[in-house]
């Protein structure tokens, strides 16, 4: 699959100052996906993880197609364009979700949050390797502070944790899930540089992703059932409409506007929202270490989002 020339690296979006719209998109992505971690908790139960993912994107994909149609975006594309959609569907809308769902069976959610926050660094590295994007020191420092901060915030959960063979398996699955998510980010950037419309591209990618997960669930022998409980259905609707239809529309738009490096830092901010909600809903108690971690995350956020003093 040909990628755009390295001469068209995302230096411009990474160099310019953010606009109020950028900040709004950034905040929306952080808030919606930060709450998604809680909604996913209610998806664990009678329904197999792969089947829950199928239901999620079976709802989100038609909504995305409808939005693309209402916006006047074209819905039919050349076969060469569909290679990008298939790649994005495999990377983000199937493999990424499956790996994290199964990783959750072996390691605590705190470790999963730390692993996913590494996407902030992975986007920087892949952006440089694939597109030749310049690696800004402030972004690297900010990303490092963010990952360290997330680790500190989840320190109480991870204190005394000993990883055995199954724990390392879970960690490996989470790491591969993060890498898959970052690879999907690069494909989205590449598709946008081909001037492919964001919403139609995302709709096709969701459809392909749902198809791949359906095949995976079928081969595993999973039962395509649904849990008719208020908590399951409520979580499913939130993840389908807010966590997929709205969040991915916002995230991919932001990706094209401010670049992969800065957009990737949203993965560091998601656990912050989840813990803030947990403070009120589940009486989460902030330790000194966790508070210091929060401060590190916020400082890193400022470093990543601000424009360099001398743009390229």
Residue 11 structure tokens: 């230096």
The pLDDT, as a whole number, for residue 237 is 94
The residue count of the chain comes to: 312
The domain locations on the chain are 28-305
User: So what's the pLDDT on residue 8?
Assistant: 37
Enumerate the H helices of the chain as residue ranges. Answer: 11-15, 20-41, 49-70, 79-90, 97-103, 109-117, 119-131, 137-153, 155-158, 165-193, 198-220, 230-237, 247-258, 260-263, 266-281, 288-305
Q: How would you write the pLDDT of the chain (312 residues) with one tens digit per residue? A: 444 433 333 445 656 788 899 999 999 999 998 888 777 777 777 889 899 999 999 999 999 999 999 999 999 999 999 999 999 999 999 999 999 888 877 877 667 788 888 898 899 999 889 888 888 888 889 989 988 988 888 777 666 566 667 778 888 898 999 999 999 999 999 999 999 999 999 999 999 999 999 999 999 999 998 999 998 999 899 999 999 999 999 999 999 998 888 898 998 898 888 888 877 766 777 888 889 999 999 999 988 888 666 544
**What confidence score (pLDDT) does residue 183 get?**
95
Alpha-carbon distances, residue 149 vs 3, 144, 166 (angstroms): 34, 8, 26
CB 274 within 8 A of CB 38: yes
Q: Contact, 142 vs 297, CB < 8 A?
A: no
The C-alpha atoms of residue 8 and residue 131 are separated, in whole angstroms, by 7
**Residue 39 pLDDT:** 76
N-term to C-term CA, the chain: 29
What three-state secondary structure class fits 196? Answer: coil
Predicted pLDDT at 276: 83
Cβ-count burial 172-194 (b if 16+ within 10 Å, e if not) = ebbbbbbbbbbbbbbbbbbbbee
């Amino acid at each position: 699959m040909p990628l755009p020339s390295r001469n068209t690296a995302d230096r411009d979006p990474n160099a310019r100052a953010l606009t109020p719209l950028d900040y709004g998109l950034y905040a929306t992505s952080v808030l919606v996906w930060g709450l998604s971690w809680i909604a996913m908790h209610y998806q664990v139960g009678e329904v197999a993880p792969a089947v829950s993912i199928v239901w999620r994107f079976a709802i989100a994909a038609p909504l995305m197609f409808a939005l693309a149609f209402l916006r006047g975006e074209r819905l039919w594309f050349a076969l060469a364009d569909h290679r990008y959609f298939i790649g994005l569907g495999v990377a983000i809308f199937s493999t990424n979700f499956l790996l994290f769902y199964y990783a959750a069976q072996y390691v605590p959610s705190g470790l999963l949050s730390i692993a996913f926050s590494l996407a902030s660094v992975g986007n920087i590295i892949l952006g440089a390797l694939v597109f030749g994007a310049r690696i800004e020191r402030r972004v690297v420092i900010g990303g490092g502070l963010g990952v360290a901060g997330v680790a500190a915030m989840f320190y109480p959960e991870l204190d005394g944790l000993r990883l055995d063979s199954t724990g390392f398996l879970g960690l490996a699955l989470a790491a591969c899930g993060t890498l898959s998510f970052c690879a999907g980010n690069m494909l989205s950037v590449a598709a946008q540089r081909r001037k492919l419309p964001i919403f139609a591209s995302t709709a096709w990618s969701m459809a392909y992703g749902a198809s791949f997960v359906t095949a995976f669930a079928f081969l595993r022998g999973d039962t395509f059932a649904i849990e008719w409980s208020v908590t399951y259905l409520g979580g499913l609707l939130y993840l389908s409409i807010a966590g997929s239809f709205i969040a991915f529309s916002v995230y991919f738009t932001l990706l094209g506007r401010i670049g992969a490096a800065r957009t990737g830092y949203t993965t560091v901010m998601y656990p912050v929202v989840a813990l803030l909600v947990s403070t009120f809903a589940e009486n989460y108690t902030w330790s000194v270490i966790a508070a210091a971690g929060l401060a590190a995350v916020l400082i890193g956020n400022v470093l990543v989002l601000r424009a360099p003093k001398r743009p390229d």
